[in-house]
C-alpha cells in the first residue's frame, strides 16, 4: 500500500500525524532532585534516543534517582574513560557506553558475588581456552576468509557467551567485540559478566527476568533446546495456557506460588521460594553437568570448572523448589526416572562411542579434519546434540526431547558409529595383512 493511500485512510479514520506522536519523553524536562549533569544527560538522550529514557523512566532506577551518569560515568584513569559524548566534551566528566559488572556491584553486591560463583562466569573464557571451538568458528565456519572469518563468532557465539571487549584508539569498543549481549563478557577493567543479558537495558525489570523469554535467547536450538523443552513440559503447558495472567513483579524472596501456578526457568534455578533464598548462581541447585560429553556429578567450588556446584546440596535445594507444589513421593519418583536416563546415556552411548573413537585414533583411522570425517561428526552430534537433548529433556520433564529427539536419535548414532568403526577396523586389518 502506498504512503498516500495510508495517509488518506488515516485522515478518514480521524488519525492525524499527532496521533502518532513520538515517545512521550522526547521533550522531557527533569525537575526532580538530580544533579545538573544528570539532568543534562537525560534531557539530551530523551531527544536523541527517546526509547532508552522511556525505559529508564519506568524503571526502579528512576524511582530511586539512579540516572545515566551514575552508571556510565568513569574515573579519568579508567581504561574506558572518554569524552566522546558531545555533552561532556571539555568538562571534567568521562563516560563510556560500557557498564561493567563492577558498576552494578556498587549497589548489587550480593547478586554480583553470586554470579561470580556460577557457571555463567566462564561463558566466554571457556571458548577462549578451547582450540577446537576457535578452529570451528574461524577456520571451518569462517573458512579462513581473510576479511570475514569473524562473522560466526560475532553474530553467533559471542552474542550469548560474550566477548573479550577491545577498545579502539578513541576508547570506543570495537565492532569485532561489541555490541554483544553475552552473559560472560570480559570488560576492559577485568570484570566478567553482563547483568543486562537477563535484565535488559534500561528498564532492568525483575518481571522480565522471571519470564522464560529471558533465558530463551540463549538456551534454545538443537544443542540445548531448554526453552523448547520447557514449553513442551507440563510446566510449560500451564505457562502457555495462563502465564500472561500471573504476577511477575513481586519483590525478591516474595515471588511465591500463587503469583504463578507453574514454575518458569527462574522459579526453579534462581528465585526465592519457601525457605530458599533468591540466588544469581545458576549452578547452585544443579546435580548433574548435563551439557558435557558425559554427565558427572557437580563437585567443585571453582566457577571455571564445568562441575562447579555441589551435587548433593544442589539436588536438596531443587527438591525444596519442587516441594512448593509436589509431594515428596512425586518428586523422588521424577528424579529417579531422570537420573536413570542420564546414566543410560553415560553407560550405553557415550562410553562405547568414546572407546571406538579412541581406538580409531590410536590406529590413525580418523581424518585430521573432524568436520570432514563421518565418524567424528556423528560422535559430536551424539553428545553435543542428541545426548544433551536426551539428558536435559529428562531432567526438565519433556518426554519428546528425552525420547524422540534424545534416546531414539542416540540409538541411531551409536549404530552408525559401530558400522563405520567395524568397516575401518576391517580395512585396517586387511591393509596390515597385505603388508606382511
Domain boundaries, the chain: 21-73, 99-197, 338-434
Look up the pTM and report it. Answer: 0.91
What 3-state DSSP class applies to 322?
A: helix
Q: Which residues is 250 bridged to in the sheet?
A: none
Judged by DSSP in three states, 173 sits in strand
Cell 537525560 belongs to residue: 42
Question: Do the Cβ atoms of 62 and 69 come closer than 8 Å?
Answer: no
Cα distances (Å, whole numbers) of residue 286 to 151, 309, 353, 364: 34, 7, 26, 39
Q: Residue 194 and residue 115: Cα distance in Å, rounded? A: 10
Q: For residue 434, what pLDDT is reported?
A: 76
pLDDT value of position 29: 73
Q: Which long-range contacts (CB under 8 A, 24 or more apart) does 350-356 make?
A: 350/293, 350/294, 350/382, 350/383, 350/387, 351/294, 352/414, 353/379, 353/382, 353/383, 353/413, 353/414, 353/417, 354/293, 354/294, 356/417, 356/418, 356/421
143-150, Cβ contacts within 8 angstroms, sequence gap of 24 or more: 150/176
* Among candidate residues 273, 419, 290, the one with its CA nearest the CA of residue 350: 290
Calpha distance 319→161 (Å, rounded) = 29
Give the model's pLDDT for residue 174.
98
The answer to whether the CB of 60 falls within 8 A of the CB of 90 is no
Residue the block writes with cell 539512579: 66
Report whether 101 contacts 68 (CB < 8 A).
no
Q: Is 23 left (phi over 0), alpha (psi -120 to 50) or beta?
A: beta
Distances (CA, A) of 372 to 84, 361, 366, 369, 381: 48, 15, 10, 5, 14
**CA gap 301, 393 in Å, rounded:** 26
Distance CA 134, CA 186 (A): 17
Among candidate residues 188, 134, 140, the one with its CA nearest the CA of residue 161: 134
Q: Which three cell numbers stand for residue 385?
A: 546434540
Q: Cell 502506498 belongs to which residue? A: 2
Q: Along the 436 residues of the chain, how does pLDDT read in single tens digits?
A: 444 444 334 444 444 444 444 556 777 777 677 899 999 999 999 999 999 999 999 999 999 999 999 999 999 999 999 999 988 999 999 999 999 999 999 999 999 999 999 999 999 999 999 999 999 999 999 999 999 999 999 999 999 999 999 999 999 999 999 999 999 999 999 999 999 999 999 999 999 999 999 999 999 999 999 999 999 999 999 999 999 999 999 999 999 999 999 999 999 999 999 899 999 999 999 999 999 999 999 999 999 999 999 999 999 999 999 999 999 999 999 999 999 999 999 999 999 999 999 999 999 999 999 999 999 999 999 999 999 999 999 999 999 999 999 999 999 999 999 999 999 999 988 887 776 6
How many Å separate Cα 69 from the centre of its chain?
28
Residue with cell 577462549: 128
pLDDT computed for residue 436 by the predictor: 62
Q: List the one residue out of 342, 344, 435, 352 whose CA is nearest residue 394.
A: 342
DSSP three-state, residue 94: strand
pLDDT of residue 23: 58
Cell output for 143: 573458512
**Rounded CA gap, 144 and 138, in Å?**
6
CB of 253 within 8 A of CB of 272?
yes
Distance CA 70, CA 239 (A): 37
CB atoms within 10 A of CB 293: 18
pLDDT of residue 217: 95
- Amino acid 418: pLDDT: 98
How far apart CA 313 and CA 53 sit, in angstroms, is: 43
Beta-sheet strands, E only, within 12-97:
73-74, 94-95
Alpha carbons within 13 A on the beta-carbon side of 422: 5
State residue 88 phi and psi, 5-degree precision. -115, -5
* Cα angle value 239/243/247 (rounded, 5°): 130
The alpha carbons of the chain give a radius of gyration, in whole angstroms, of 26
- Going from the C-alpha of 230 to that of each of 40, 252, 257, the distances in angstroms are 45, 23, 18
Residue 433: predicted pLDDT: 75
Amino acid at each position: 500500500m502506498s504512503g498516500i493511500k495510508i495517509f488518506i485512510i488515516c485522515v478518514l479514520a480521524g488519525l492525524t500525524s499527532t496521533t502518532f506522536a513520538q515517545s512521550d519523553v522526547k521533550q522531557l524536562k527533569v525537575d526532580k532532585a538530580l544533579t545538573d549533569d544528570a539532568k543534562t544527560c537525560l534531557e539530551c538522550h530523551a531527544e536523541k534516543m527517546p526509547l532508552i529514557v522511556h525505559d529508564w523512566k519506568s524503571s526502579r532506577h528512576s524511582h530511586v534517582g539512579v540516572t545515566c551518569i551514575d552508571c556510565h560515568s568513569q574515573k579519568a584513569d579508567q581504561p574506558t574513560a572518554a569524552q566522546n559524548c558531545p555533552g561532556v566534551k571539555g568538562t571534567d566528566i568521562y563516560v563510556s557506553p560500557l557498564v561493567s559488572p563492577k558498576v552494578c556491584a556498587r549497589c548489587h553486591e550480593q547478586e554480583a558475588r553470586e554470579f561470580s560463583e556460577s557457571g555463567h562466569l566462564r561463558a566466554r573464557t571457556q571458548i577462549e581456552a578451547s582450540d577446537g571451538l576457535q578452529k570451528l568458528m574461524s577456520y571451518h565456519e569462517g573458512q579462513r576468509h581473510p576479511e570475514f572469518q569473524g562473522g560466526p563468532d560475532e553474530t553467533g557465539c559471542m552474542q550469548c557467551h560474550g566477548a573479550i571487549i577491545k577498545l579502539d584508539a578513541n576508547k570506543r569498543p570495537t565492532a569485532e567485540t561489541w555490541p554483544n549481549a553475552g552473559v560472560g563478557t570480559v570488560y576492559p577493567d577485568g570484570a566478567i559478566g553482563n547483568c543486562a543479558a537477563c535484565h535488559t537495558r534500561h528498564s532492568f525489570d525483575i518481571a522480565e527476568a522471571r519470564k522464560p523469554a529471558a533465558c530463551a535467547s540463549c538456551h534454545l536450538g538443537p544443542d540445548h533446546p531448554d526453552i523448547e523443552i520447557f514449553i513442551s513440559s507440563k510446566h510449560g503447558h500451564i505457562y502457555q495456557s495462563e502465564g500472561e495472567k500471573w504476577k511477575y513483579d513481586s519483590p525478591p524472596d516474595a515471588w511465591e506460588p500463587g503469583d504463578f501456578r507453574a514454575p518458569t526457568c527462574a522459579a526453579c534455578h534462581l528465585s526465592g521460594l519457601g525457605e530458599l533464598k533468591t540466588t544469581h548462581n545458576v549452578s547452585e541447585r544443579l546435580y548433574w553437568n548435563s551439557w558435557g560429553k558425559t554427565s558427572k556429578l557437580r563437585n567443585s567450588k571453582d566457577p571455571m570448572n564445568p562441575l562447579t556446584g555441589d551435587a548433593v546440596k544442589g539436588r536438596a535445594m531443587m527438591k525444596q523448589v519442587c516441594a512448593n507444589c509436589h509431594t515428596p513421593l512425586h518428586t523422588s519418583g521424577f528424579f529417579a526416572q531422570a537420573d536413570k536416563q542420564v546414566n543410560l546415556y553415560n553407560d550405553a552411548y557415550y562410553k562405547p562411542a568414546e572407546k571406538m573413537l579412541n581406538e580409531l585414533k590410536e590406529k590413525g583411522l580418523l581424518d585430521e579434519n573432524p568436520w570432514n570425517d563421518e565418524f567424528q561428526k556423528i560422535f559430536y552430534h551424539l553428545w553435543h546434540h542428541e545426548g544433551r537433548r536426551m539428558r536435559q529433556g529428562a531432567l526438565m520433564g519433556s518426554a519428546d526431547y528425552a525420547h524422540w529427539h534424545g534416546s531414539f536419535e542416540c540409538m541411531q548414532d551409536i549404530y552408525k558409529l559401530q558400522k563405520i568403526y567395524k568397516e575401518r577396523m576391517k580395512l585396517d586389518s586387511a591393509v596390515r595383512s597385505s603388508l606382511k
